[in-house]
Amino acid sequence: MLFGMTIKVAVAGATGYAGGEILRLLLNHPKYHSGELEIGALTAASSAGQKVAELMPHLPQLADRIIEPTDMEHLAGHQVVFLGLPHGHSAQIAAELGDSAIVIDCAADHRLKSAAAWEHYYGSEHAGHWPYGIPELPGHREELAKSNRVAVPGCFPTGATLALYPAMAAGIIAPEVVITSITGVSGAGKKASVPMLGSETMGSLKAYNTAGKHRHTPEIAQNLAEALHTQQEHIKVSFTPVLAPLSRGILTTASADLEKAITEEEVRGIYEKFCENEPFLQLLEAGQQPQTQNVVGANTCHIQVEVDQGAGRLLVTSAIDNLTKGTGGAAVQCMNITLGWPETDGLPLAAVAP
């Protein structure tokens, strides 16, 4: 932790969905209200020179601020720098910032341990692996607390990993999993895109990047392999994302063959132990299904577990807000850990309903 000083925070890519969500959460952070956290440079590329009021009117506290170019002139001198940039831009900025700054990367650049997996899915040189920002996984919280570099997980891997990790670690399921995640359109980012137009998405569902082509597939495999202390090649992940006419939210259903006879009550006991003392994980009452509307704006993950005795399979369902627990909230949660602040500071548990 940095003692005896105000922590000055910059957000690069501030006008994107991830950057905007980080700012929303920082503006409600108790350290911001106490003066211990200061929001410094807000940077972007094409929107540089414009006022926050024009681009993000939902952030009135920052209305008069000007978006600056993303360069060292504006990012240097901050204790924490959030990077909400396109893939492939983070490594150079982090190198230029040096070790004095905590760099929290919301892109994929430093999530994967395998250079081969990175090059296969992203088609560029691997920038190396940083401590991975799902604090709820064993050992990750301790690793993050000692680091000044954080790789924020992908939104799909967050919901899928939290759904399956407890069962995989307990050895009750086979290392071959089937995952379907239904997501809102904000997961594609703020860039203009014909497939994301309202007229293309309203009243329609569409699977995309199917049959192992989605870039988050190796990240999910990497996380589940960690549960078994094995190589990710030993984990078979069939992942299908489905685009839905929602602005926010991911509903994930994940299943796998059971490795042994086990009751639903015994499975619930495994998940209860995993979720206990984790403020952002909520195992729902038996029979209650996760819904995206119950996590909107919250940094929570709702989980339900069921045993399909006829099929001999475990079914786990999870719901997260892809912009909060799936991105911006995870980034702020990791910032709190690296600074030694209470992990829950600035992070809502209550969702917006209806």
Q: Within 13 Å of residue 228, how many CA atoms lie on the same side as its CB?
A: 21
Model confidence pLDDT, tens digit, residues 294-345: 999 999 999 999 999 999 999 999 999 999 999 999 999 999 999 999 999 9
pLDDT-derived band at 1 (thresholds 50, 70, 90) equals very low
Residue 200 included in any domain: yes
Rounded CA-CA distance 310/38 in Å is 56
Residue 19 included in any domain: yes
Residue 35 included in any domain: yes
Q: What is the DSSP string of 39-62?
A: EEEEEESTTTTSBHHHH-TT-GGG
Model confidence pLDDT, tens digit, residues 210-251: 999 999 999 999 999 999 988 888 899 999 999 999 889 999
Over residues 149-159, mean pLDDT? 96
Domain check: are 105 and 215 in the same one?
Answer: no
Model confidence pLDDT, tens digit, residues 25-73: 999 999 999 999 999 999 998 889 999 999 999 999 999 999 999 999 9
* Residue 262 pLDDT exceeds 90: yes
What domain count does the chain have? 2
pLDDT-derived band at 190 (thresholds 50, 70, 90) equals low
Domain check: are 136 and 252 in the same one?
Answer: no
Residues 6+ away with beta carbon under 8 Å from 54: none
Yes or no: say if 62 and 23 are a contact pair by the CB < 8 Å rule. Answer: yes
DSSP-derived secondary structure letter, 154: P
Domain check: are 167 and 91 in the same one?
Answer: no
Domain check: are 55 and 185 in the same one?
Answer: no
Q: Domain of residue 295: give its range.
A: 156-320
- Peptide bond between residue 342 and the one before it cis (omega within 30 degrees of 0): no
Model confidence pLDDT, tens digit, residues 91-141: 889 889 988 899 999 999 999 999 999 899 988 888 899 999 999 999 999
Rounded CA-CA distance 274/293 in Å is 24
Min mean pLDDT across 4-18, 189-203, 231-245, 286-300 is at 189-203
Tell me the one-letter amino acid at 293. Q
Domain check: are 90 and 172 in the same one?
Answer: no
Over residues 262-266, mean pLDDT? 95
> In the prediction, which pLDDT does 354 show?
83
User: What are the structure tokens assigned to 236, written together?
Assistant: 């078979």
Residue 349 included in any domain: no
Residue 354 included in any domain: no
DSSP-based helix, strand, coil % in the chain, nearest 5: 35, 20, 45
Residue 351 included in any domain: no
Yes or no: say if 152 and 334 are a contact pair by the CB < 8 Å rule. Answer: yes
* Residue 90 pLDDT exceeds 90: no
Q: How many C-beta neighbours within 10 Å does residue 262 have?
A: 18
Domain check: are 171 and 70 in the same one?
Answer: no
Strand partners, 254: 179, 316
Residue 36 included in any domain: yes
Min mean pLDDT across 158-167, 232-241, 280-289, 300-309 is at 232-241
Q: What is the value of pTM for the model shown? A: 0.93
CATH number at residue 313: 3.30.360.10
End-to-end CA distance of the chain: 39
Catalytic residue numbers, as ranges: 155
Tell me the one-letter amino acid at 347. L
User: What are the structure tokens assigned to 72, written together?
Assistant: 């060292």
Rounded CA-CA distance 264/282 in Å is 17
Residues 6+ away with beta carbon under 8 Å from 32: 26, 38, 39, 346
Q: Taking the CA atoms of the chain, what radius of gyration do you get in angstroms?
A: 20
State whether residue 165 is helix, strand or coil. Answer: helix
Closest C-alpha to 155, from 24, 272, 21: 21
| Chain position carrying tokens 């040189």 | 125
pLDDT-derived band at 11 (thresholds 50, 70, 90) equals very high
pLDDT-derived band at 282 (thresholds 50, 70, 90) equals very high
> In the prediction, which pLDDT does 291 show?
97
* Residue 2 pLDDT exceeds 60: no
Domain check: are 314 and 171 in the same one?
Answer: yes
- What is the dihedral sign for C-alpha 220, 222, 223, 224? positive
Rounded CA-CA distance 235/251 in Å is 22
- What is the dihedral sign for C-alpha 52, 54, 56, 58? positive
pLDDT-derived band at 192 (thresholds 50, 70, 90) equals low
Domain check: are 176 and 140 in the same one?
Answer: no
CATH number at residue 11: 3.40.50.720
Closest C-alpha to 110, from 134, 86, 126, 125: 126
Domain check: are 185 and 230 in the same one?
Answer: yes
> In the prediction, which pLDDT does 53 show?
94
Residue 247 included in any domain: yes
Domain check: are 148 and 161 in the same one?
Answer: no
Domain check: are 187 and 261 in the same one?
Answer: yes
Domain check: are 142 and 231 in the same one?
Answer: no
